[in-house]
Structure 1
Amino acid sequence: MTDVWSERADAYRESEAHRQGRDLELFAEWAAGKTVLDVATGGGHVAARLREAGCQVVTCDSAPGMQPDVICRAEDLPFADASFGVVTCRVAAHHFEDPAAAVQEFARVISDLVLVADNLYLGDAGEEADRLRDPTHVRNYSEDEWRGFFEQAGLEVEAFEREAKRIDLEPWLARAGCVGEEAVRVKELLRDRIEDGRVRVDRGIFKARHR
């Protein structure tokens, strides 16, 4: 079976869209100075920013090509209870098979905070576009669904922000290898969200802790 994410590793490490954002700055503010597990680290942008903020960071990812410290799935973290002060997970959970189980794992391994940022559900057209662009996409979730995942894991959302994220369209398509008819269809489905060569997505940024 092809390791799609390892094949995409360089593209994600070099992605301008992943190098910046309100979510990165909030994560750095909320986690400053703490021990952090960065789950589904991808190109390592969160880990790099958190280290700048004085954090000790361990990274994990299911794709060896992302060069994490530990190779594992988000739903099955090989760490003892309360091993870290904070877990971070940025723009990855829409690829998880079971995000509720992943959040339960996040809650288990932390003593303080769970910080999650991910694109929010945009309706059926948005979901079809995401699956066409990237077949590894499972589903985006609404703010209410995310709050439900946290509640089920014994966590309380302490802070939430919604960011209107504008992403350069063509590089966004290229990172996932979306070309030809699929790319045309994605643009049709998202036409109301495309302006000046950028696509707008709504990103939810959550700060949660044990109740």
Structure 2
Amino acid sequence: MKYRMKAMFFVYILLLATISFTPGECDTKVFNLKDYGAVQGGNVDISQALLKAWGDACNWKGGSKLEVPSATYLVNPVILKGPCRGPIEFHNSGTLKGPQGLRGDSLIEFQYIDGLTLNGGVFDGQGPPKQAAPGLPTLLRFTFITNSRAQLVKLINSQSTHFHLFGCKQIVIDQISISSPENSPNTDGIKIGESNVLRIVSSKLAFLIRITRFI
């Protein structure tokens, strides 16, 4: 009996060591944007630094966090694309602003990700335009995103729609704020298309929600 208990104790210690030192899906690694050369102040484009940081975070096997430090950053249109190798958090403690006079589909777009958390920060579209026109970008876009959430996010001054979700499933939008000046043309708050199981809670929307073929 004595030897059996010692053997069981040895196996238990060995198991703990294996769990402690073997990388797994529960590992979380932080990828700080400043380590990729992003310049603070809002005058130098940080798009390439953001894409590089996202690529490394998305390819990390396990949980990852892309950290945007507290500051103002200028960013041109980027697509942050999955699928990723584990759950990923985009933690924004700063302000990401687009250049004035920007044209295109969207400023920041997340695509094909399962298990995304968009947490905090300000997204500034540097609008509004003087008049509605084709080719003005959506501020934030989720495309084919599943089992994810956006929380504590502030969207301001979009030149077009502030937040557009398409082909998404199981999304929680919690404590977001959307606003633009009263005379902003065609700056909807949220547009939703071809999506299901979405919840919007504890949020302040200054403009309407448009839903297209919402299931």
The reply to whether TM is greater than 0.5 is no
- TM-score normalised to structure 1 length: 0.30
- TM-score normalised to structure 2 length: 0.30
Structure having greater relative contact order (Cα 8 Å, sep ≥ 6): 1
Q: Return the structure number with greater helix share.
A: 1
Q: Larger Cα Rg: Structure 1 or Structure 2?
A: 2
